[in-house]
Structure 1
Amino acid sequence: MAHLSIFFGVLLFHGVHGLTGKRGIAYNNNNPSGNAVYANLFKGKSKVSWGYDWGYPSWSLDSSFEFVPMLWGLPNGPDADWTAAVQTPGTLNILGFNEPDLTYDASSNILPEKAARGYLTYMQPFAGTVRIGSPSVLWNNVGSSSGGAYDTATWTQYFLGNCTGCHLDFAAIHYYQDCVTPDGQNGAIWFEGNVTNAHDVLGLPIWVTEFECYGSEEQQIAFLDQALPWLDSQDYVERYAYFGAFPDFLINADGTALSDLGDTYAST
């Protein structure tokens, strides 16, 4: 089993196993069917191999995809449902806290020390049986962070410093930025630089579990036309998921088929 062990902030990489293809789907069950109906529109698209929904269960994600459960935030105590999800046959990888480095309402907003204790309690027991991802942080964040005026990289350093003995196989990051920057720069180049920086700083294989560029559908398609081949060519990028399987994003406005953007994501 591949693994990355962390002792006193030192990263030791021992290989990569237990993976299917790179391209995945971020989805939820907030739709009229109350299940993974939008994600399942990608069934049969050979480049799309896995999915996650910021939690568990999978809401009937088609069995052709690998489902990756996530522990979104800190439980209040022992969580039998989380244990059952991780131990479900076919679970190979697990994701941790969602944007704990941020303070807005939809983030898990956890101080690094508490996040580290949570990992030791709820993630570390599964080391060696599944592959474990780091907390999913917004790597392009440069503003105020959870608990103080420090950025994501600093939050992550504090987390690792407190998570002595933690076992991590990969780092999960998010990215949101303009398709074309205000000064006219190519957003795909900016994105590639952020992903490269995360790998350089953390020394871990990278999962980009959320990313999106802000712009028209035409601009987003141009972004993906450049970014997807680059992601596929980087050995250290294990997986990625563009945001997301929702109407007016990768799904058309009616929720009945892939949008033009979704077709680009599925086929480029």
Structure 2
Amino acid sequence: MKIKKILIVLVCLLTSLVPVKIMAQENNNRFDSWKTSAIITPEAKELKPAGNIDVAFNQFAVDDIVIDHYDIYIDGQKVNIVFADGKDILKTSIYLTKTDYYQLQVVAVTKDNHEFSSNIRKFQICKKGLNIDDKAVNTPVANMQESWYYNWSYTPSTNVTGSKEFVPMIWDENSLSWLESDQVANYTTILGFNEPDLTNQANLSVLQAASYQDLFTKTGLRIGSPATSYPTNEWYQEYGKTVNMDDIDFIPVHIYYDWAGEGMAQAFLEAIDTLYQLYHKPIWVSEFGVANSGLYGANSNYDEANKQISTYLKETIAGLEARDYVERYTWFNFDDDDVNGGKTALYDQQTGQLTDLGKLYKSLGNPNIEGIDLNDEYVEDAGYYIDLDKMISKADELIASSDYDQYINVETFENILNQAKAIDRNLGSSSQFIIDDLYKQLLEAYNGLEKQAVTPELPKEDKVTKQTELSSSSSVATGDTSNVLMLMLLMLISYSGFKLVNK
């Protein structure tokens, strides 16, 4: 009975000496917690308004790995670098104006260029917005797939469906006190005075408007200049000479024509181009439309009205979408019973239901996401590839060195090195974990190598005998453990057989 137990122990020991291949273990990647939760904003699938996109992400905090900086990628292209500063949450911004969906990734980088990749976050950008006046402020407005809105006030509306960015406005002098309120901290952007060139609107001289510029600047928000009734009129040209335009981040524009026939969309776009050439500032078309009581008013009988307005809307939006310097736009929504522009209404201000033109507006200027999965995409990369490859090169250099034959315990080292060279780099979701483990094994084996002790010169007559003794002693001490165990196993088997024969 005692012999059987000894045999079992020896068999187990021999089995443990056989090299075992490292197998991929699904969901065993110790970096997954960061990879999946790294990006905070934008949120997955989120529709963001064009312009500056705020990015927030969690710091990489796994074991004792020290991160030097983070590379920010959009659609596979590096667009920004954020240096590690010890904060739990890091922030940056990227500038995007093309209506589309985007893929965001954060890559944590150590000082020796060791990289750890977050999952890919997909979000959308849209220029299209909505304006809501006093008559519709309490009416739930049907979704037009817009990404932002304003209401000529600094107080958000409660009737906007979905998560849309609200942009406050300082309509006239009476609103200026808001710029010094705590509410400013809730926003990133501010719209300036509304049509100060008109007596029935903000009604300000150029010098008056310019004198308030410091109040806007001190907020730290992105500042939109005053929006005049036409973008290149005398008032605005004088304003551009009076203020420091470096303090203006973008120019809001109002353009209305009384005719929507052939060629008018091109005239509209040329006016936008002219303004941009003057100041080279991003442009928001915060009001545009057509108004003519005889043609497009609520009581008009003009047969071509709806066709002309629809064509004008499609052509102007196509042009605005094609211009990278245009950050945002919103069609002006006349009341559906307005005598000048009732036929240009996007929605009924009493019910919030979309008109035919509103349905057309909803269909235009949207990201093309047909067939696109907007959920986060898991990235199967291996963060230790760089370190493992460096370790393999270091091991090969040692083997090629002239004194490698002096090392006495190289079997384990060479076995792990061969595994490292042969490992499949496409192992699946736990590849980082496997590369990590193999790298550490190879490093440990490398550091554990020992050179054979130098044997002192012996007298000639004793040299052969002593070397034989040393060789025998070395064999036992350093050990071919597997051979010794095999010999013991064979002796026990022979002894067991002897006992059985002599029973």
Give TM class, smaller chain.
Answer: 0.7 to 0.9
Q: What residue is the counterpart of 2:222 in the other structure?
A: 131
Deviation at 1:178, TM superposition (A): 2.6
Offset at 1:18? 8.0
State whether structure 2 residue 253 is matched by structure 1 residue 162.
no
Distance in structure 2 (CA, Å) of the matches to 1:110 and 1:99:
9
Determine the structure 1 residue equivalent to 2:163: 64
Alignment of 1:116-265 (within 5 A): 116-121=210-215, 123-127=216-220, 130-139=221-230, 152-164=232-244, 167-180=247-260, 185-214=262-291, 215=296, 216-244=305-333, 246-247=335-336, 248=342, 249-252=345-348, 255-265=351-361
Check the 8 A contact 1:57/1:85 in 2, yes or no.
no
- State the number of aligned residues: 227
1:18-51 deviation per Cα after TM superposition (whole angstroms, max 9, x unaligned)? 87521000112324xx52523xx12xx43x1000
Q: Which amino acid aligns with 1:73?
A: D
**Structure 1 vs Structure 2: percent identity of aligned residues?**
30
Structure 1 residue 263: deviation in Å? 0.8
What is the CA–CA distance in structure 2 between the aligned matches of 1:234 and 1:165, rounded to whole Å?
Answer: 21
8 Å contact from structure 1 (residues 250, 258) kept in 2: yes
User: Which amino acid is the alignment partner of residue 180 of structure 1?
Assistant: A
- Deviation (angstroms), 1:179: 3.4
Q: Within 2, Cα distance between the matches of 1:180 and 1:211?
A: 12
Where 2:173 maps in the other structure, the secondary structure is: coil
Matched, 1:99 2:195: yes
Amino acid paired to 1:117: S
Which structure has the larger Rg? 2
Alpha-carbon deviations, 1:137-165, whole Å to 9, x = none? 1226xxxxxxxxxxx54322322333237
Task: Name 1:114's counterpart in structure 2.
Answer: 208
Q: Distance in 2 between matches of 1:223 and 1:108?
A: 29
Identify which range, 91-100 or 212-221, moves more after superposition: 212-221
CA deviation after TM superposition for structure 1 residue 59, in Å: 1.9
- Offset of 1:74 from its aligned partner? 1.2
Deviation at 1:246, TM superposition (A): 4.4
Q: Which has the higher helix share?
A: 2
Equivalent-residue separation in structure 1 for 2:322 and 2:96 (angstroms): 19
Q: Extract unaligned runs of 5+ from structure 1.
A: 3-14, 141-151
**Structure 1 Cα separation of the partners of residues 290 and 212 of structure 2:** 31
Q: CA deviation at 1:194?
A: 1.1
CA separation of 1:165/1:265 partners in 2, compared to 1, >3 Å: closer, same or farther? closer
Q: Distance in 2 between matches of 1:55 and 1:30?
A: 13
Question: In structure 1, which of residues 4, 7, 24 is the aligned counterpart of residue 129 of structure 2?
Answer: 24
User: Once superposed, what is the RMSD of the aligned Cα atoms?
Assistant: 2.7
SS in 2 for 1:126: coil
Distance 1:165 1:188 in 2: 28
Report the equivalent of 2:491.
none
Distance (Å, rounded) in 2 between the aligned partners of 1:168 and 1:81: 16
d(CA) in 1 for partners of 2:264, 2:274: 15
Aligned equivalents of 1:36, 1:266: Cα separation in 2: 18
Q: Is the 8 A contact 1:96 1:133 kept in 2?
A: yes
- Under a length normalisation based on structure 1, what TM-score does the superposition of the two structures give? 0.75
| Aligned CA distance change for structure 1 residues 236 and 58 (closer, same or farther; 3 Å) | same
8 Å CA contact 1:98–1:135 kept in 2: the answer is yes
- 2:147 is the counterpart of 1:49: yes
- Shift of residue 98, structure 1, vs aligned partner: 0.2
What are the superposed Cα offsets for residues 184-230 of structure 1, whole Å, 9 maximum, x if unpaired? x5211111111111111222111010000233233211101211111
> How far, CA to CA, are the matches of 2:260 and 2:352 in structure 1?
30
Structure 2 CA distance for aligned equivalents of residues 135 and 222 of structure 1: 29
